[in-house]
Structure 1
Amino acid sequence: MALQDYTREFGKNLNIAYPIMAGQIAHLLVAFADNVMVGKLGDAQLAAVSLGNTLIFIALSIGIGFSFAITPLVAEADAKGDFQKVKSIFHNGVLVSTINGVILCVLLFLSEPILYYLDQPEEVIILAIPYMRIVAISMIPLMIFQSFKQFADGLSKTVFAMQATIIANIVNIILNYLLIYGKFGFPRLEVEGAAYGTLVARILMVPVLMFLLSRKVELKRYFSTVEAFSVGIFKKLLNLGFPTALQMFFEVSLFTAAIILSGVLGTKSQAANQIALNLSAMTFMVGVGLSVTATIRIGNQLGNGNILELKRIARSIFLLTLILDVIFAVIFYAFKDQLPWIYIQDVEVVNIASSLLIVAAFFQVSDGLQVVFLGALRGLQDVWIPSAICFIAYWLVGFPVSYYLGIVLDYGGQGIWIGLLLGLSVSSMLMYLRYRYLIRVRLVKSFS
């Protein structure tokens, strides 16, 4: 095929992806605002937010992983025109996600003692625990929101979740300002103020998204009656959701381990790690948007049974991802010395963060491509082998290298991040090989 056979899909890919990107980046901009506002209080407070989010991020990855199962199932059923099945997947998906939210909230409360065994500064732990308790409660409304979002994504209606997220996050930033610093008569809660802002925003997202979806004529029928519990659909959601949750757990826990290892190096290293991680997460969300696009469009073509068209569309998404990630890599490297100053005015923290951004620049391509390849495999409803790939890449390659270079050889934060780079690179390569294998198998079957 000619290059234009792929580039002509860029517009449609971005049309589906940009609301997802914007919604995810809006989430991160609130985390960015949290970090900037809390960073003004000092490096211990910034490190506390980082530590408090270690277990939160792990729980979040598990919950979101389960909800991701909704999207490919909805996309495939929608391509076949099976309204009743789409509705059943949606309603059962809300039930699964709500249960997950409650379980994750309880587990986070029970896991508080773990923070004392992570060899972190005592002052940071004292600040992190109340932050984590408040944000843990927000897991319940966030998981409910995720179920509605993934349903809408499966129908390629990605703009509504973006709108709800932006509205809620504006409220979050305002509350952060009022509660962190105690402005306009509000109590000065500092780190806890950031947590309360997050809680209120996540509660607000649910009714806002429900309203936006239910007022659309073509979507009203999905809200008219409540579907009965379906054992078959429930099993499908668990069979896709559990390994997807494992995939996200393996990746997020690697970055969580990087936070913990940085904390072992000291408060300033942990604060610098948080800065580099927050910046990297923003560009990663562009990859997440394209990953969901791959899941949706490949799921549609799977429902239609058109493997050649599936292959062409997938390649167009891969090419678009590569172009954007190369741009991000150049930006990270060119502005590595300027970006950390946005967060904090501590020269030592800024210098450490700048060294981490050099490595982050190199792993932009690997990070973006691996998540998009994973989205393509999810669209093909292939989840168990990718889970094994994630474990191998992140925990048999990435973490040992991070520990050895960062702690044993004393290369510090940069050594830890080189381990992240290697883990992401291995994951990207193996995910692509798995995708190519599945496409060859399906092409053989379609022509036999």
Structure 2
Amino acid sequence: MTLKEHLRKNILLATPVVIGQLGHIMVSVADSVMVGRLGVIPLAAATFAGTIYHILMLFGIGVSYAITPKVAATDTKDHGRLLRFLQDGFFMNLSLGLILFLLGYIASHFLHFFGQEVPVAKAAGPYLIIMCGSLIPLMIFQTFRQYAEGLSDTFSPMIVSVFANLLNVFFNYMLIYGKLGAPALGLNGAGIATLMARVIMFAVMIWWVRKKIQGFEWRYTWSGIRELLRIGLPSGMQYVFEVGAFATAAIMVGWIGAEALAAHNIALNLAAISYMAATGLAAASTIRIGNQMGLRDRRNLRIAGFSSFGLVAIFMGCCGTVFILLRNVLPALYIENDVVQTTAASLLVIAAAFQISDGIQAVGLGVLRGLTDVKVPTIVTFVAYWLIAIPIGYWFAFHGGYGVQGMWYGLSLGLTISGILHIWRFNRLSKKIQFQ
């Protein structure tokens, strides 16, 4: 295949995945935009709870990604092996969803220890419990989504995600503001809306995929679950280290004040849109690399990987340009507060600067996952964010006099280092890989 053909296949495969990934983050975007109309405290509470919730959610999604490369590298005629990955993945994700909900429930009772303003911590607790409850149907949905994507069916999960996102906005309108006869539940209404939409989402996905699957049984094998966890747990930890760093940054920003935290939330919410699109490209690159691993084709494996890096760099560069051009417009969609809007606009300029780095490190994790290389990238992620980004960001913010902008400088450095190291490792491994 030529480079042009690889780029075309990447785009065709990635587009539905990107839209599906955006479905996850648009839930938070819709919540933030609609909750922001209630004031600074509800928006700050949504931000604070969201930092914890997103760590749990992305860890779960990262673990579920183990299903995709296994399915992608399996001969489609080997129905029994494919079915085993689906069944084992279902019970793994269901169990993980219950565990994540329990962790979120426990965390909700200790929010006052994080140094946030009392009204913010008080409002965040119930919202966090509801949002973590929505992780159970989300993880079940992820099972069937990752299985379908491993078979290169990226269209079905996209349709379901878009449908659920539209439902979430509708339920938000009803439950946040008390419209169409529903009670006005404010911030908690946003959480309930997300839970309702995700229950419908997983039910539709199960119905859709099971129509195409013959022989599915409600059983699992421990050996199969361990095989998935061998890839899934490190993949989940990669997201924990990265998103956890941003969550820790949000907690530190909360020490500055509610307005700084609200501005951080707006800029991060917008940056998360492009990031989740990049993770969609990363998921597609995992499928492409997994396919070439199954075909034992080193040449096309390398082209598929490097074309994915190029594609995400172009896309994220365009996103950065949008952030700069609309830096004074986008924050106004969230809240009517001049201080918050001005601070958020300055953060969007920094976000624009690290867009390409963020995209490359995301795709780097995807192509390496396709090679089933997950341990070293996990170490790289930990070092880049926790030993470099957070300490430097803290120093700039609280000792260098840069405030919330200083924290973002540190995060930008961590993303850049991570992206460079992932490209280097893919180049090295793809040259040396031995097909058995």
**Correspondence for 2:102 among 106, 118, 125:** 106
Aligned to 1:276: 267
Aligned to 2:163: 167
Q: Please list, as runs of the form range in 1=range in 2, the aligned pairs for 1:404-423 lying within 5 A after superposition.
A: 404-423=395-414
Q: Are the aligned partners of 2:87 and 2:216 in contact in 1 as well (CA < 8 Å)?
A: no
Unaligned runs of 5+ in 2: none
**Correspondence for 1:70 among 43, 49, 67:** 67
- Corresponding position: 1:318 with 2:338: no
1:130 & 1:171 partners in 2: Cα distance?
22
Aligned to 1:298: 289
Aligned to 1:123: 119
Aligned to 1:392: 383
**Correspondence for 1:265 among 256, 259, 273:** 256
1:46 counterpart letter in structure 2? L
Unaligned runs of 5+ in 1: none
Q: Which stretch shifts more, 232-241 or 86-95?
A: 232-241
For residue 185 of structure 1, give the secondary structure of its aligned residue in structure 2: coil
Question: Against the structure 1 CA distance between its residues 146 and 225, is the aligned structure 2 distance closer, same or farther, given a 3 Å change threshold?
Answer: closer
Could you report, residue by residue, the CA deviation over 1:363-385 in whole angstroms, capped at 9, with x for unpaired residues?
10000010101100000000000
Q: Please list, as runs of the form range in 1=range in 2, the aligned pairs for 1:73-84 lying within 5 A after superposition.
A: 73-78=70-75, 81-84=77-80
Could you report, residue by residue, the CA deviation over 1:321-363 in whole angstroms, capped at 9, with x for unpaired residues?
1111111121111221221111111100000001101110011
- Corresponding position: 1:372 with 2:368: no
Q: Are the aligned partners of 1:276 and 1:353 in contact in 2 as well (CA < 8 Å)?
A: yes
- Corresponding position: 1:307 with 2:298: yes
- Corresponding position: 1:362 with 2:353: yes
- Corresponding position: 1:403 with 2:403: no
1:162 & 1:253 partners in 2: Cα distance?
27
Q: Please list, as runs of the form range in 1=range in 2, the aligned pairs for 1:97-246 lying within 5 A after superposition.
A: 97-215=93-211, 219-221=212-214, 224-226=215-217, 228-246=219-237
The Cα of 1:428 is off from its aligned counterpart by: 0.3
2:110 & 2:8 partners in 1: Cα distance?
47
1:47 & 1:433 partners in 2: Cα distance?
39
Aligned to 1:335: 326
1:165 & 1:374 partners in 2: Cα distance?
23
Q: Are the aligned partners of 2:97 and 2:139 in contact in 1 as well (CA < 8 Å)?
A: yes
Question: Against the structure 1 CA distance between its residues 137 and 227, is the aligned structure 2 distance closer, same or farther, given a 3 Å change threshold?
Answer: closer
Identity over the aligned pairs, expressed in percent? 39
Could you report, residue by residue, the CA deviation over 1:402-423 in whole angstroms, capped at 9, with x for unpaired residues?
1111122231111011111001
**Correspondence for 2:336 among 333, 340, 345:** 345
The Cα of 1:401 is off from its aligned counterpart by: 1.0
1:28 & 1:439 partners in 2: Cα distance?
32
Q: TM-score, normalised by structure 2?
A: 0.97
Which 4+ stretches in 1 moved above 4 angstroms? none
Aligned to 2:29: 32
Q: How many matched pairs?
A: 436
Aligned to 1:46: 43
